[in-house]
Amino acid sequence: MARRLLATSSLFLALGAALVFGIVVFDVGTIGGVGAEEQPKGPADAKKAEEKIPPLASDEEAAEALKIFKTEFKAKGLRGEEKVGAQAWALTTLAKVQHPKVVDALHKATKNRNADLRTGAVLALGSQRRIPGYAGKAVLDAMKRHSKDTTFVMASLEAIKKLRFLGAKPQLAALIKHHEYAVVKNALVTVAALKDARFIEEIVKLMKALKLEKGASWDGVNVTYDTGTAGDHDQKMAEKLGKAAEAKNKKKGKRSAKSMRDIGPVVLEVMFDLTGEQFSGGIEARKWLGKNKAEVDAQVKAVEKTAAEQAQQAAELKKKR
C-alpha cells in the first residue's frame, strides 16, 4: 500500500515537471490511470468515446463515495510523502464517480495548501466527463485562482481538454498570448484537441503576427523571410537570419532556442487539426480561409451550440446545489 501511495504522489510531481517544461502533452484518464486517451476523429469514434464515459452516479452513490473520500483524505497516522500519496489516491478514487457533488469536492481540493494535491485535484476534475459544463466551470475558477502557478494552469488545460469543455474560449485566447512559452504551446494544443473552429481566424492572425507567412527552416531554427521575389534570394536570407538567430539563442539559453524552434510547427499543426489542411504559412492559410469562410462559419455555429448546451447544463446543476 505504501508503495502505491508514494507512486501516486510521485506521479503528480512527474506530471508537474512534464507540464512546466513541455516534455509531454497528454490526456489524463484518471490520475492513477495508464496512457493517453485519443481524441475522437469522427462520428464513429465520438460515439465510442461517449460509450466509455461512466454513467451519472445517483445521489446515494455519490454520498457513499464522498463519505469514503473524507475519511481517506484525512490520512490519519500518515505524514510527509505517505500522507500526500494517500490523499492523492483518495482524489483518484473519488474522481471515478460522475456527480456534481464530486465536482464540488474536487473543486474544494484545488484550494489545498499542498501544490501537488491542488494540481491533482484539477486534473481529477477532467475525469468528470458526464457533466463537462459543470466541471469545466470549476476548472476555470480554479485556474483563475492559481493563474500565477504555471504547472497548475497547464494541468487545468489538460482537464479542459479531457472534458472537451468549450466554455473556456476567453481564457484560451488569453493563454495563447501568455509570456511563458510552455503555456502558449499547451493552450494551442488544447484548442486543437477541442477542434474549436472559433479559433481558426484567430490563429490565422497569429500566424501573421509571428511572421509565419512563408516559413523556411535552417538548422533547427524556423525563420521567415519573404519578399515575393523570384529565385533563391529569400532562402539565402532565411539561412543568414537563421545563423544569427541560432547564435542569439545560444546566448539566451536552451529554453529560448526551444521556443524559436517549436512555435512555428505547433501553430501549423494546430491549423491542420482544425482544418484538415496542411499550410506552409499564413499566406496559404488566409487564401484557404477566404475560399472556405462559409464552411468555417458553419463549424463555428456548431461549436457555439455545444458550448451553449454545456453552459446550460452548468446553470441547471448549479441551481440544484
- Give the containing element (helix H, strand E) for 304: helix 293-320
Band (pLDDT 50/70/90 cuts) for residue 67 is very high
Residue 302 predicted with pLDDT over 50: yes
pLDDT in tens, 201-229: 999 999 998 888 875 343 444 444 343 44
Question: Looking at residue 39, what is its pLDDT?
Answer: 52
pLDDT at 181 exceeding the cut of 50: yes
Confidence band (pLDDT; 50, 70, 90) for 321?
Answer: confident
Given a cut of 60, is residue 117 above it in pLDDT? yes
14-18, 139-143, 175-179, 233-237 — most confident range: 139-143
Higher pLDDT, 240 or 305: 305
Residue type, position 249, single letter: N
Query: What pLDDT does 216 receive?
Result: 38
Q: What is the mean pLDDT of the chain?
A: 80
The CA-atom distances, in angstroms, between 40 and each of 55, 83, 162 are: 19, 37, 11
pLDDT of residue 50: 61
154 vs 252, higher pLDDT:
154
Domains of the chain are 2-36+56-194 (1.25.10), 205-300 (no CATH)
Q: φ, ψ for residue 223 (rounded to 5)?
A: -130, 145
pLDDT tens digits for range 225-263: 343 445 555 555 555 545 555 555 455 445 544 554 568
Q: Which pLDDT score, from 0 to 100, does residue 211 have?
A: 86
Amino acid 6: pLDDT:
45
* CB burial of residue 18 (10 Å; 0-12, 13-18, 19+): middle
pLDDT value of residue 317? 93
For the stretch 210-218, contacts whose Cβ atoms lie closer than 8 Å and that sit 24 or more positions apart, written own/partner, are 210/263, 210/264, 210/267, 212/264, 212/267, 212/268, 212/281, 212/282, 213/281, 213/282, 213/283, 214/280, 214/281, 214/282, 214/283, 215/264, 215/268, 215/280, 215/281, 216/242, 217/242, 218/242, 218/243
User: What single-letter DSSP state applies at residue 212?
Assistant: -
**Mean pLDDT within 151-160:** 98
Higher pLDDT, 31 or 296: 296
Q: What is the mean pLDDT of residues 51-55?
A: 84
* pLDDT on residue 299: 97
Note the pLDDT of residue 221. 45
Backbone φ and ψ for 22, nearest 5 degrees, come out as 65, 25
